[in-house]
Amino acid sequence: MASPSKRVIVIGGGLAGLACTIKLAEEGVAVDLFSMVPVKRSHSVCAQGGINACNEIARQQGYSEWEHFDETVLGGDFLADQPPVLEMTSWAPRIIDLLDRMGVPFNRTPEGKRDLRLFGGSLYKRTFFAGATTGQQLLYALDEQTRRRESEGLVNKYEFWEFLWPVIHEGQCVGIVAQDMRTMQIRTFRADAVVMATGGNGLVFGKSTMSVICTGGAVSRCYQAGARYGNPEMIQVHPTAIPGEDKCRLISESARGEGGRVWVPRTPRDTRPPNSIPEGERFYFLEERYPKYGNIVPRDIATREIFEVCQEGLGVGGGNMVYLDLRDEVKKRGREAILGKLEGILEIYEKFVGTDPLDEPMKIFPAVHYTMGGLWAGFTKDEKTGGLKRGAPNNMMTNVPGLYVMGEASFAYHGANRLGANSLLSCIFDGLFGATGIKNYITDVAAIAGADVPQATYDDYLKRETEKQNWLLHNDGDENPYLLWQEMGKWMTDNCTVVRHNDRLQNTLDRCQEWKQRYERVKLSDTGMWTNQNLSFTRALRDMLLMSEAVLKGALARNESRGAHYKPQFPERHDAAYLKTTIATYDPATNSAVIDYAPVDTSLVKPRPRTYGKKNVTSADKAGAANGPATAAPTPAAVSVGV
């Protein structure tokens, strides 16, 4: 096969990166695929519950692609630009068909149809799944297709390589600087365009359900290089996880979708074993407060309700845990039926907790899980359909020409809160839909081809990154980077997750300035130049500090409650002032974030109250978005996520 004349670099081996790689190769574009870990170990492998789409069965229930779109923008509290969301949900059925043809082993009904389950934010079964390991099955299927293109010479994999910095020539991204994580060699790579598909930033909060490589460092480096960061304050805390000493482990929303019930004892600080507590003495608080949706309310709502009952002293034993109970479903359907749909997560719980979750309710608590914010991405609206114009070069492109963003690293689609099972869809949609626009950009729009950029440009970036590394290797300070990270994670988790108060946000922001100063005194415990993970982590710590500052400043400035961003002092949504995207821009002169705003496209569905049928709805809720902030409320004691 003839060598393609155009080359794109894709950073990230998860679903977004692989989908984009496959489509670019199909278009005849050569791809260099970079990943810090083997592709099949990318964080997408941890996704459990499913992937949303309308199909013929759901359509017979009255569901449609439009309904999926409406649920998504409502779930995101109307902070997402609507044309990209409409296009994504319109593509969803075709994506499921494609994955099916690739061999993804979706669960089937007795009639052989692809099975569906309930997921948060919808009253319709519209979530396709492969047991409770859906992400793994999708990742493996896309990896097979990637290896097919690799065998044809269209894809080069660079596994165990870390992205260090984008190469920008006259305002255009034309390559990257990267490091071999084994030999520690730093190299530059030319490209006509670069795609960032590197996932979220869970490590900013210390412990989360994300993989331990999810520092957000790659996105932060693009942000520091001039790319805008959209809605940094929007962080999803998943309602059901297993707290752990090292990290938090996800218990998928599919457990609730398959009939799992969340409850606590009605008596405060009840220490009885759960199996001995009678039905009448259990408080099924989600079912009682949200009778229409029950246990499948969106994640931000479920998380806040769990926090509230724990603050009231109703948590398990008076602590920060609630029960997630599948025993009723075992009685109805039998153990084997439940295992056939949830075995993956049930094994995780039994392995790390030591009890059988089908014999005794699981003990769970919220944990940081997903980043709705990310690098800002543009789009071109198709005025005929209301969705996106296919092939437009600026679709999924950041404000830096030639630098694209996809998947969780992007701010698009989810607004202020992501609906469960929309993540896998958004990742694959980004890659499949966006690749055509990338090809059109490198073919028809780019001011200069990567091959024509002077070598001096790449040499300069290589020198800069080498100097940064040398500073870390030789810095003789007194600061342990891991202890500094742990302190940052605890402060961020305590003060900038589910419940946010401006005084605590300001205190944490002040502390962040101190962290940045202390970082100048970090000292490596390992200065060897072979697989030096201490160097990699410490370098990423600076990126996390700058990212945490953007999160804090965005949260402090948004005086309302919207989706995952909840301030008791400002409990209502305030559309007049805050129906807009937060834009964080890095100022190198001050080494800090500057917060500005951009409009949100709500041209397809007008914002409306987001109550999900909650009982005792207030008059303010019924009236819709509030016209101004509420009066201040007293600050309750902090409850730490995942602790």
Task: Give the pLDDT score at 616.
Answer: 66
pLDDT of 642 above 80: no
> Per this entry, what is the length of the chain?
643
Q: Are residues 437 and 523 in the same domain?
A: yes
Task: Give the pLDDT score at 615.
Answer: 83
Q: Are residues 209 and 288 in the same domain?
A: no
pLDDT of 640 above 80: no
SS3 content of the chain, % helix, strand, coil (to 5): 40, 20, 40
Task: Give the pLDDT score at 624.
Answer: 40
Q: Which amino acid is at 139?
A: L
Q: Are residues 111 and 213 in the same domain?
A: yes
Q: What is the CA radius of gyration of the chain?
A: 24
Q: In what order do the strands lie in the sheet with 322-325?
A: 249-250, 235-242, 362-371, 322-325, 261-265, 282-283
Q: Is the dihedral of CA 349, 352, 354, 360 positive or negative?
A: negative
Task: Give the pLDDT score at 556.
Answer: 98
Q: Which residues have C-beta within 8 Å of that of residue 376, sequence separation ≥ 6?
A: 227, 228, 229, 230, 398, 399, 411, 581, 583, 598
- Collapsed DSSP state (helix, strand, coil) of residue 249: strand
Q: Which two tokens stand for residue 339?
A: 């295992």
* Element holding 102 (H helix, E strand): helix 82-102
Q: CA distances (Å), 142 to each of 19, 39, 45, 249, 618, in order?
A: 7, 10, 11, 25, 48
Domain membership of residue 271 as a residue range:
239-368
Task: Give the pLDDT score at 244.
Answer: 87
Question: Which comes out higher in pLDDT, residue 441 or 622?
Answer: 441
* Residue among 453, 439, 428 at smallest CA distance from 29: 439
Give tens-digit pLDDT for 170-224.
999 999 999 999 999 999 999 999 999 999 999 999 999 999 999 999 999 999 9
Domain boundary among 345, 368, 391: 368
Give tens-digit pLDDT for 11-49.
999 999 999 999 999 999 999 999 999 999 999 999 999
Cα distance between residue 572 and residue 569, in whole Å: 9
> What pTM does this model have?
0.95
Task: Give the pLDDT score at 409.
Answer: 98
Task: Give the pLDDT score at 465.
Answer: 98
Cα distance between residue 116 and residue 125, in whole Å: 6
- For every residue of 584-630, which 3-state class applies, written as one string? EEEECCCCEEEEEEEECCCCCCCCCCCCCCCCCCCHHHHHCCCCCCC
* String of DSSP letters for 317-332: GGSS-EEEE-HHHHHH
Q: Are residues 568 and 626 in the same domain?
A: yes
Q: Are residues 181 and 244 in the same domain?
A: no
Give tens-digit pLDDT for 91-148.
999 999 999 999 999 999 999 999 999 999 999 999 999 999 999 999 999 999 999 9
Cα distance between residue 54 and residue 92, in whole Å: 7
- The residues facing 10 across adjacent strands are 33, 195
Task: Give the pLDDT score at 532.
Answer: 97
Q: Are residues 276 and 228 in the same domain?
A: no
Cα distance between residue 360 and residue 288, in whole Å: 22
Q: Are residues 206 and 265 in the same domain?
A: no
pLDDT of 576 above 80: yes
- For every residue of 279-298, which 3-state class applies, written as one string? HHHEECHHHHHCCCCHHHCC
Q: Which two tokens stand for residue 186?
A: 């730093």
Q: Are residues 505 and 566 in the same domain?
A: yes
The distance of Cα 525 from the centroid of its chain, to the nearest Å, equals 31
Q: Which residue in the block uniquely carries the two structure tokens 């996105």?
A: 219
* Element holding 474 (H helix, E strand): helix 455-474
DSSP 205: G
DSSP 528: -
pLDDT of 626 above 60: no
Q: Which two tokens stand for residue 542?
A: 């600076």
- Collapsed DSSP state (helix, strand, coil) of residue 355: coil
Task: Give the pLDDT score at 3.
Answer: 63
Looking at every residue in the chain, the average pLDDT score rounds to 94
Domain boundary among 368, 388, 408: 368
- CB neighbour class for 533 (10 Å; exposed up to 12, middle 13-18, buried from 19): exposed
The pair phi, psi for residue 609, each rounded to 5°, is -60, 145
Give tens-digit pLDDT for 331-381.
999 999 999 999 999 999 999 999 999 999 999 999 999 999 999 999 999
Largest CA distance in the chain: 75
Q: Are residues 515 and 427 in the same domain?
A: yes
Percent of the chain with pLDDT over 70: 95
* Contact indicator for 566, 498 with CB cutoff of 8 Å: yes
Q: CA distances (Å), 417 to each of 232, 238, 400, 607, in order?
A: 12, 11, 26, 15
Give the pLDDT mean for 244-262: 95
pLDDT of 622 above 80: no
Task: Give the pLDDT score at 620.
Answer: 35
* Contact indicator for 558, 230 with CB cutoff of 8 Å: no
Q: Are residues 230 and 362 in the same domain?
A: no
Give tens-digit pLDDT for 393-422.
999 999 999 999 999 999 999 999 999 999
* Residue among 272, 192, 616 at smallest CA distance from 439: 192
Q: Which two tokens stand for residue 397?
A: 């492109």
Region for 243 from its dihedrals, namely left if φ exceeds 0, alpha if ψ lies in -120 to 50, beta otherwise: beta
- How many structural domains are present in the chain? 2
Q: Looking at residue 335, which CATH number applies to its domain?
A: 3.90.700.10
pLDDT of 627 above 50: no
Give the pLDDT mean for 596-620: 85
Q: Are residues 592 and 512 in the same domain?
A: yes
Q: Which two tokens stand for residue 70?
A: 């409406």
The distance of Cα 327 from the centroid of its chain, to the nearest Å, equals 31
Question: Please, which pLDDT band fits residue 476 given cuts at 50, 70 and 90?
Answer: very high
Give the pLDDT mean for 542-567: 98
Q: Is the dihedral of CA 271, 277, 280, 283 positive or negative?
A: positive
Domain boundary among 368, 392, 410: 368
* Contact indicator for 170, 205 with CB cutoff of 8 Å: no
Question: Please, which pLDDT band fits residue 61 given cuts at 50, 70 and 90?
Answer: confident
Question: Which comes out higher in pLDDT, residue 83 or 617?
Answer: 83
- One of 117, 126, 228, 299 is an active-site residue; which one? 299
Q: Looking at residue 42, which CATH number applies to its domain?
A: 3.50.50.60
Residue 299 among the catalytic residues: yes
Q: Are residues 206 and 273 in the same domain?
A: no
- The residues facing 69 across adjacent strands are none
Task: Give the pLDDT score at 56.
Answer: 87
- Collapsed DSSP state (helix, strand, coil) of residue 397: strand
Give tens-digit pLDDT for 508-523.
999 999 999 999 999 9
